[in-house]
Structure 1
Amino acid sequence: MAGYRDLLRTRGVARIMTAQLAARFPNGMTSLAVLLHVERVTGSYAAAGLVLAATSIGQAVAGPVTSRWMGRWGMRPVLILTLAVCALAIAGLALLPLPVPGYMALGLIAGLSTPPVQSAVRTIYPKMVTSRQLTPLFSLDASLQEIIWIVAPVVITFVATQIGTLEALLLIVAILVGGGSWFILSPEVGRVRIPRSRRGFGRVLLKAPVLLATVAGFLLIAACSAVEVGVVATFGHSGAAAGLVLAVFSVGSLAGGLTFGHIPIGPWAMARRLTIVAVGLALAVFALDVWWLGGTLFLAGIGIAPALAVIFAITSASVRFSETAEAYGWIGTGQLIGAAAGSAVAGFLIDGVGPQGAYVAAAGFAAVGVLVAVACVRGFPDLRERDASPIPDTEPVSTIT
């Protein structure tokens, strides 16, 4: 923890980390609020699901596109534009009486205009700290983002059920504008300039570490999403058990990230960390009482933030600085698709064999992640003797004298 204290004392780190958490806080609220609001207005969960699907598709498509725009037009202009459009779209969902296709259109616009805060801040980090501090910083960032997934759903569910879904969506708009403005006005956002990438759109995925990070993120988040569906199916919507078990899952991730974040990242790091996740999820299959699930999911959670830290670090170390934002955009898209796939597979298995099917699916996704990490271990860079800083866009040219 002394290392993390030193890290947070580095000029601007605590401020930018807090600001980006505030800016991203609506990410843990929007899907649930949209689902509850559209279901209340239309009386149909199917309609709500369609609107939510449109929002998710928009987010998946926008990730690498808006991230790449930051290299062309600058961080602040892109963040301001996307923030304004997204806030207006969510406000429209709350205030406008529309048919389902209208809500779907607004959901798609809100998804497409989701501000690329995650790509921006992870592009900024290497410019703020020393090379020795970068890997722990990625680990701390991956750990603290669990706060979003612990607190945000609880807050938005309380507001939506006790006050109203319209008010819940307007609260999201307020947090989006307030947190987003705080992040945009941070000095570091104006100080860091992303060079325009010279490579074609999408070519960054041809780099093995970026592709592996995207695939690993897809499988890891698919496993987590299947767990969430399984926990809700196990304990139902009433009572506190489901929320408590999911909170324990996130606390495990927070603890794992803070505990193991200082460990240097070698080629086998991803395989080892995903193995922890896979073992915990495999054990969860054997009993569905609250104590057993709490313990096994805490164990599985210990590997999540450290695995995410590997994803962020190997991506940063493998691309040019001009490509970092787009690379993180593709990784975010992979994770969004993974969330949708995990939920869908878990849902089908729950209908077929019961709640245990969701944990089988989660363990399966994690196990495939371990197999990919082992089979492709040569594609993971060894960062034990080097830092995770991006490759400079300008390099010295040798001359003959």
Structure 2
Amino acid sequence: MAGYRDLLRTPGVGRIMAAQLTARFPNGMMSLAILLHIEHVTGSYGAAGLVLAATSVGQAVAGPVTSRWMGRWGMRRVLTLTLVVCALAVTAIALAQLAVPAYMALGVIAGLSTPPVQSAVRTIYPKMVNSRQLTPLFSLDASLQEIIWIVAPVVITLVATQVGTVQALLLIVVILVGGGSWFILSPELGRVRIPRSRRSLGKVLTKPPVLLATVVGFLLIGACSAVEAGVVATFDHGGLEAGLVLAVFSIGSLTGGLSFGHIPIGRWAMARRLAIVAVGLSLTMFSLNIFWLGGTLFLAGIGIAPALAVVFAMTSASVKFSDTAEAYGWVGTGQLIGAAAGSATAGFLIDGVGAQGAYWAATAFAVAGFAVAALFVRGFPDLRHRDPSPIPDTEPVSTIT
């Protein structure tokens, strides 16, 4: 922990981390709030699912595109534009009385305009710390983002059920604007300029580490989404027990990230960390007892944040600085698609064989991730004795001091 304290004492690190976590906090609230609101307005979970799917498609498409725009027009311009459009779209969903197709159109707009905060901040990080601190910083970031997934769903559920779904969506808009503005106005965004990429859109995926990071992220988040569906199905659609078990899952991830974030990243780091996830999830299939599930999911969670830290570090170390934002955009898109695939697969299996099927799906996703990491281990960079910062561009990059 002393190492993390020193890291947070580095000028600007604590501020930019707090700002980006606040700006990304609506990410943990949006899906649930839209689901509850559209179901409340239309009386149909099917309609709510369609609007939610439209929003997710928009987010998946936007990831690499808006991230790439930051190198063309600057981070602040792109973040401000997307922030304004996204806030207006969510406000319209909250206040307007519309047909389902119109809600879907607004969902697509909200998804497409989701501010690329994650890509921006992970592009900035290598310019804020030295090479020795970068891997622990990625690990700390991956760990602290678990706070979003622990707190945000609880907050938005309480507001939606106790106050109203309209107020829940408007709360998201307030946090989106407030947190986004804090992040956009952070001095670090003015000190770093992303060079315009000279490569065509998607070319960055020809880099094996970026492709592997995208595939592994897809499988890892797919496993997590299947677990979430399984826990909700196990404990009667989201009772107190479901919330507690999912909180334990996230606490395991937070614990793993803080405990192992200082360990150097070799070629086998991803396989080892995904093995922990796969073992923990495979044990869930033996019993649905709350204490057994809590213990096994805590074990599985220990590998999640460390695995995500490897994803971020290997992406950073494998591309030019001008391509980092787009690379993180593709990684984020892979994770979004993984979340949808994991939820859908788990849902079909829950309908067919019961809640146990979701844990089968989660285990299958995790084992597949481990297999990819082990079979293609040579595609993972060895960062034990190497600077994980992006490859410098050949042209000079101006910074404002």
TM range (shorter): over 0.9
Once the two structures are superposed, residues 206-263 of structure 1 have per-residue CA deviations (whole angstroms, 9 ceiling, x without a partner) of: 0000000000000000000000000000001353100000000000000000000000
Mark the CA change 1:238 to 1:125 in structure 2 (over 3 Å): closer, same or farther.
closer
Alignment of 1:229 with 2:229, yes or no, is yes
Aligned equivalent of 1:166: 166
- Cα distance in 1 between the residues matched to 2:239 and 2:350: 20
Aligned partner of residue 124 in structure 2, secondary structure:
helix
Aligned equivalent of 2:271: 271
Alignment RMSD, CA only?
A: 0.8
- Cα distance in 2 between the residues matched to 1:95 and 1:252: 38
- Cα distance in 2 between the residues matched to 1:61 and 1:273: 29
Q: Is the 8 A contact 2:119 2:326 kept in 1?
A: yes
Aligned equivalent of 1:317: 317
- Cα distance in 2 between the residues matched to 1:353 and 1:99: 35
Structure 2: which amino acid aligns with 1:290? I
Aligned equivalent of 1:120: 120
- Cα distance in 1 between the residues matched to 2:275 and 2:387: 25
Aligned partner of residue 217 in structure 1, secondary structure:
helix
Structure 1: which amino acid aligns with 2:361? A
Once the two structures are superposed, residues 334-357 of structure 1 have per-residue CA deviations (whole angstroms, 9 ceiling, x without a partner) of: 000000000011011111111111
Structure 1: which amino acid aligns with 2:318? S
Q: Is the 8 A contact 2:131 2:387 kept in 1?
A: yes
Aligned equivalent of 1:346: 346
Aligned equivalent of 2:59: 59
1:221-300 to 2 correspondences below 5 Å = 221-237=221-237, 239-300=239-300
Aligned equivalent of 2:194: 194
1:13-52 to 2 correspondences below 5 Å = 13-52=13-52
- Cα distance in 1 between the residues matched to 2:385 and 2:25: 35
Aligned equivalent of 2:399: none
Once the two structures are superposed, residues 106-156 of structure 1 have per-residue CA deviations (whole angstroms, 9 ceiling, x without a partner) of: 000000000000000000000000000000000000000000000000000
Structure 1: which amino acid aligns with 2:163? I
Aligned equivalent of 1:102: 102
Structure 2: which amino acid aligns with 1:189? L
Once the two structures are superposed, residues 249-300 of structure 1 have per-residue CA deviations (whole angstroms, 9 ceiling, x without a partner) of: 0000000000000000000000000000000000011000110000000000
Q: Is the 8 A contact 2:26 2:175 kept in 1?
A: yes
Mark the CA change 1:229 to 1:238 in structure 2 (over 3 Å): closer, same or farther.
closer
Q: Is the 8 A contact 2:232 2:238 kept in 1?
A: no
- Cα distance in 2 between the residues matched to 1:387 and 1:195: 20
- Cα distance in 1 between the residues matched to 2:101 and 2:237: 28
Once the two structures are superposed, residues 54-97 of structure 1 have per-residue CA deviations (whole angstroms, 9 ceiling, x without a partner) of: 00000000000000000000000000000000000000000011
- Cα distance in 2 between the residues matched to 1:186 and 1:173: 20
Aligned equivalent of 1:374: 374
Structure 2: which amino acid aligns with 1:344? A
Structure 1: which amino acid aligns with 2:157? T
- Cα distance in 2 between the residues matched to 1:172 and 1:178: 10
- Cα distance in 2 between the residues matched to 1:198 and 1:262: 34
- Cα distance in 1 between the residues matched to 2:249 and 2:262: 21
Aligned equivalent of 1:216: 216
Mark the CA change 1:380 to 1:34 in structure 2 (over 3 Å): closer, same or farther.
same
- Cα distance in 2 between the residues matched to 1:222 and 1:9: 35
Structure 1: which amino acid aligns with 2:328? Y
Once the two structures are superposed, residues 12-35 of structure 1 have per-residue CA deviations (whole angstroms, 9 ceiling, x without a partner) of: 000000000000000000000000
Aligned equivalent of 2:12: 12
Alignment of 1:85 with 2:85, yes or no, is yes
- Cα distance in 2 between the residues matched to 1:387 and 1:295: 36
For structure 2, which runs of at least 5 residues remain unmatched after alignment?
397-401
Aligned equivalent of 2:68: 68
- Cα distance in 1 between the residues matched to 2:289 and 2:231: 10
Aligned partner of residue 285 in structure 1, secondary structure:
helix
1:387: Cα distance to partner?
1.5
- Cα distance in 1 between the residues matched to 2:203 and 2:342: 27
Q: Is the 8 A contact 2:231 2:245 kept in 1?
A: yes
Aligned equivalent of 1:152: 152
Mark the CA change 1:14 to 1:53 in structure 2 (over 3 Å): closer, same or farther.
same
1:362: Cα distance to partner?
0.3
1:303: Cα distance to partner?
0.1
Aligned partner of residue 391 in structure 2, secondary structure:
coil
- Cα distance in 1 between the residues matched to 2:369 and 2:193: 35
Give the TM-score taking structure 1 as reference length. 0.98
Structure 2: which amino acid aligns with 1:186? S
Aligned equivalent of 1:399: none
The structure 1 segments of at least 4 consecutive aligned residues displaced by more than 2 Å after TM superposition are none
Aligned equivalent of 2:358: 358
1:395: Cα distance to partner?
7.2
Structure 2: which amino acid aligns with 1:379? G
Structure 1: which amino acid aligns with 2:193? R
